[in-house]
């Protein structure tokens, strides 16, 4: 956890965390990939179940905070099954472009199939990419979003710098991620839910309790609101701020590149 | 749940309902096509946050994004209904009931979309509950509508009757005030007479006592 709160050290460390386990940095990526290969098909159902559908409202708020307009270039990083991409695609129109990027091919395939089934084909590109080494030219995107993805990235500081590089001057980054609840009582209830009910729900629906145990652990290991804000500042983002949603269970961080 | 979540929930609900209605629309969607990628931002006095309506692929997206719009309207729900009457716009703006920034035609085109909605409700309901129940529901609806119409006519006729005949025999406020004035005057006159009688009574008693002595 201390590594997470000191992103400068994280970059040089040869080991990192995978949930509560400490693993070699080279191993984390494949372990995370294993988790998402396993849950990809049931990802949307589990999201609705786990959050009681509230993840849709968090994502709607992210869209609002993006200030997206027709003609914009948007990168939906770790876009998974394409919830944000679907909305962005409609809002940027035919003159705009949305890139749905994910490191995990299974998630990308599920997302692509879902969006094609919805008839969203004209302005969406699919890219399998590592957030730490984004395969795009400098100053490409007006908006970058990463929803529930940053905590799975091995070197978050490297990923943030990569996002900064590909963002256009005047563009904004939005990080929607689990965070630390504001009130202790909510924190306790949330802990009970995450470690007792969530893995059971995962076992029952996705037939994979371990992946949802990892989810709960990875949320606890993720930097809290202020730490992530500082990491964004360190990566070069300006006017960084965050908004707690559902008492801080989730936070939306925003930063600009000028 | 926080205010933000309530706003998002309301936006999501409006988006779902409106798109469901648009998908049932039988009339031409030409007005919707003309609005492709156009955005109308509506700030209603009744809501403490703006609603941004954007048309994309014949669907309506409802968000709270206000950073870009083709037309922005600040008004109330009651005034919104009168927007279709173009000749009233100037008057509403003068009365500070309406503030428009941008292309007013976009706002009117949005209003047209909703006015031109033509939905075959019976067919829609039949797909859920079947033809026979829908037919019976339709008959019940017509019966209820006839009853309500009759009741409305009855109330209207009774009201007219009352206004024409009954209201005339009622005492108006002015008449009532005049009556109060007259009663006050009568009370004062009675008091004066009482005082006069009392004075006369005293005088009679005094002269009677003098004659006895």
pLDDT at B125: 86
Inside any domain, residue A133: yes
| pLDDT mean over B7-20 | 91
Spans in chain A with pLDDT lower than 50: 1-12
Q: Which residue of A has its CA nearest to B53?
A: A91
Inside any domain, residue A161: yes
Q: Which helix (H) or strand (E) holds B106?
A: helix B104-115
CA distance A33 to chain B (A): 32
State pLDDT tens for residues B164-173. Answer: 777 777 788 8
Which pairs from B168-176 meet CB under 8 Å and 24+ separation? none
Q: Chain A contacts of B36, Cβ < 8 Å?
A: 93
**Domain tally, chain A:** 1
pLDDT at A11: 42
Using the beta-carbon criterion (under 8 Å), do A67 and B9 form an inter-chain contact? no
Chain B contact present for A63, CB below 8 A: yes
Chain B contact present for A243, CB below 8 A: yes
Chain A contact present for B96, CB below 8 A: no
Chain B contact present for A118, CB below 8 A: no
Chain B contact present for A193, CB below 8 A: no
| pLDDT mean over B50-71 | 89
pLDDT at A130: 92
> Distance (Å, rounded) from C-alpha A106 to C-alpha A13?
29
pLDDT at B104: 85
Q: Give the rounded distance of the alpha carbon of A149 from its chain centre.
A: 2
Chain A contact present for B11, CB below 8 A: yes
Task: Give the lowest-confidence range in A13-27, B81-95, B99-113, B196-210.
Answer: A13-27
- CB-closest option in B8, B57, B59 to A57: B8
Inside any domain, residue A119: yes
Inside any domain, residue A13: yes
Residue B84 pLDDT grade (very low, low, confident, very high; cuts 50, 70, 90): low
Using the beta-carbon criterion (under 8 Å), do A246 and B59 form an inter-chain contact? no
Interface test with B, best of A90, A119, A243 (most B CBs within 10 A): A90
Inside any domain, residue A93: yes
pLDDT at A4: 36
> Distance (Å, rounded) from C-alpha A165 to C-alpha A179?
25
Chain A contact present for B4, CB below 8 A: yes
Domain range enclosing A28: 2-183+210-256
Residues making up chain A, counted from first to last: 258
Which pairs from A34-37 meet CB under 8 Å and 24+ separation? A35/A152, A35/A211, A35/A214, A35/A215, A36/A80, A36/A104, A36/A106, A36/A107, A36/A152, A37/A104, A37/A105, A37/A106
Using the beta-carbon criterion (under 8 Å), do B8 and A69 form an inter-chain contact? no
Inside any domain, residue A167: yes
| pLDDT mean over B178-204 | 94
| pLDDT mean over B109-134 | 85
pLDDT at B1: 61
Using the beta-carbon criterion (under 8 Å), do B61 and A243 form an inter-chain contact? no
Q: Which residue of B has its CA nearest to A65?
A: B65
- CB-closest option in A60, A64, A93 to B56: A93
Q: Which residues pair with A99 in a beta bridge?
A: A75, A125
Chain B contact present for A68, CB below 8 A: yes
| pLDDT mean over B97-111 | 86
Inside any domain, residue A202: no
- Which of B135-139, B158-162, B163-167 has maximum average pLDDT? B135-139
CA separation (Å) from A28 to A152, A187, B133?
9, 27, 60
Task: Give the lowest-confidence range in A114-123, B79-88, B130-139.
Answer: B79-88
Chain B contact present for A249, CB below 8 A: no
pLDDT at A7: 39
Using the beta-carbon criterion (under 8 Å), do A245 and B2 form an inter-chain contact? yes
Q: Chain A contacts of B60, Cβ < 8 Å?
A: none
Inside any domain, residue A80: yes
pLDDT at A2: 37
Q: Which helix (H) or strand (E) holds B15?
A: helix B3-24
> Which distant-in-sequence residues (6+ apart) come within 8 Å of A125 by Cβ?
A97, A98, A99, A100
Grouping H, G, I as helix, E, B as strand and the rest as coil, residue B79 is helix
Find the CATH number of the domain harbouring A144: 3.40.50.150
Q: Helices A105-117 and A25-39 sit at what angle, rounded to 10 degrees?
A: 30
> Distance (Å, rounded) from C-alpha B32 to C-alpha B106?
11
pLDDT at B196: 94
Chain A contact present for B64, CB below 8 A: yes
The verdict on ipTM greater than 0.85 is no
Q: Helices A198-205 and A43-51 sit at what angle, rounded to 10 degrees?
A: 150
Closest CA to A58 of A120, A144, A145: A145
State pLDDT tens for residues A190-239. Answer: 888 888 888 888 788 777 777 778 788 888 888 999 999 999 999 999 99
Closest CA to B72 of B97, B98, B40: B40
């Amino acid at each position: 956890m201390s590594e997470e709160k000191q992103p400068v050290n994280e970059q040089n460390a040869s080991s990192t965390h995978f949930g509560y386990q400490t693993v070699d940095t080279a191993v984390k990526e494949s372990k995370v990939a294993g988790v998402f290969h396993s849950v990809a098909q049931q990802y949307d159902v589990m999201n609705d179940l786990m959050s009681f559908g509230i993840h849709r409202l968090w994502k709607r708020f992210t869209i609002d905070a993006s200030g997206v307009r027709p003609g914009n270039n948007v990168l939906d990083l770790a876009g998974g099954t394409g919830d944000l991409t679907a909305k962005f695609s409609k809002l940027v129109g035919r003159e705009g472009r949305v890139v749905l990027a994910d490191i995990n091919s299974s998630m990308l395939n599920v997302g692509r199939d879902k969006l094609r089934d919805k008839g969203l084909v004209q302005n969406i590109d699919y890219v399998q990419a590592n957030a730490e080494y984004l395969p795009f030219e400098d100053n490409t995107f007006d908006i970058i979003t990463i929803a529930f993805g940053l905590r799975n990235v091995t070197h978050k500081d490297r990923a943030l710098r990569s996002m900064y590089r590909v963002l256009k001057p005047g563009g904004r980054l939005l990080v929607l991620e689990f965070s630390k609840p504001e009130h202790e009582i909510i924190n306790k209830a949330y802990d009970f839910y995450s470690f007792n009910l969530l893995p059971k729900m995962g076992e029952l629906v996705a037939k994979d309790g371990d992946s949802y145990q990892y989810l709960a652990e990875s949320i606890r290991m993720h930097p809290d609101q202020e730490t992530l804000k500082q990491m964004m500042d360190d990566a070069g983002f300006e006017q960084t701020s965050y908004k707690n949603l559902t008492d801080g269970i989730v936070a939306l961080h925003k930063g600009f590149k000028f | 749940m926080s205010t933000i979540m309530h706003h998002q929930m309301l936006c999501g609900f409006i988006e779902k309902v409106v798109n469901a209605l648009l998908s049932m629309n039988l009339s031409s969607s030409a007005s919707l096509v003309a609005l492709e990628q156009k955005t109308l931002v509506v700030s209603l006095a009744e809501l403490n946050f703006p609603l941004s309506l954007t048309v994309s692929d014949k669907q309506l997206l409802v968000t709270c994004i206000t950073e870009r719009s083709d037309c922005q309207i600040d008004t109330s729900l009651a005034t919104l209904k009168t927007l279709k009457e173009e000749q009233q716009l100037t008057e509403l703006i003068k009365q500070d009931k309406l503030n428009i920034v941008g292309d007013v035609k976009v706002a009117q085109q949005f209003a047209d979309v909703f006015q031109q909605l033509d939905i075959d409700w019976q067919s829609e309901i039949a797909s859920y509950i079947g033809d026979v129940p829908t037919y019976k529901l339709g008959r019940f609806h017509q019966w209820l509508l006839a009853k309500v119409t009759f009741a409305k006519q009855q109330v209207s006729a009774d009201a007219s009757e009352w206004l024409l005949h009954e209201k005339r025999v009622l005492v108006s406020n002015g008449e009532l005030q005049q009556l109060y004035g007259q009663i006050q005057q009568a009370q004062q006159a009675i008091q004066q007479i009482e005082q006069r009688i009392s004075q006369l009574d005293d005088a009679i008693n005094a002269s009677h006592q003098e004659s006895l002595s």
